[in-house]
Amino acid sequence: MFFPSWFVKKKGVNFISTFVFVFQLKCCGMNTTGLPQPWMAWKFNHRVNPDPSDETVPASCCRPEFYPDCSLENPAKEDQIWAKDCFAEGLEFVRGHAVYLFVAALVIALLMTLGIVFAFLLFILIE
């Protein structure tokens, strides 16, 4: 997914990484008690829905064929947005990539330990 430089400067890298992550997970909202669908949790976000009667969703919830127009619909149409729970999808993503995260952390820790050993050796050689 390509973002122009003016968009990156305006929105920020954190926004864009979150946007791409949610786009990859194909989810919208979070399942909470009292709500039949996860996307309905956006109703309580005052930045997305300033008026209590609004039922819109952010553009990251839109399916690609309806992007970004579905975020302008009020109320949001369920057939145009992702229906999955983002918490469950994120948890599944992390569990699926936990081995890679562990290996990366282990490699970094080993490199840092090796750096400490070489620093001590250099210190001993200098004396």
Domain residue spans of the chain: 5-96, 98-127
Higher-pLDDT residue of 112, 82: 112
Residue by residue, DSSP assigns the chain as: ----HHHHHHH-HHHHHHHHHHHHHTB-S---TT-SSGGGGGGG-TTT--STT-----GGGB-GGGTTGGGG-SSPPGGGB--B-HHHHHHHHHHHTHHHHHHHHHHHHHHHHHHHHHHHHHHHHH-
Q: What is the pLDDT of residue 1?
A: 47
Question: At residue 110, does pLDDT exceed 70?
Answer: yes
pTM: 0.61
Question: At residue 12, does pLDDT exceed 80?
Answer: no
**Percent share of the chain, pLDDT over 90:** 21
**Percent share of the chain, pLDDT over 70:** 81
Q: What is the pLDDT of residue 6?
A: 45
The 10s digit of each residue's pLDDT in 24-80 is: 788 888 888 788 888 778 777 777 777 777 778 887 788 878 776 777 777 878 888
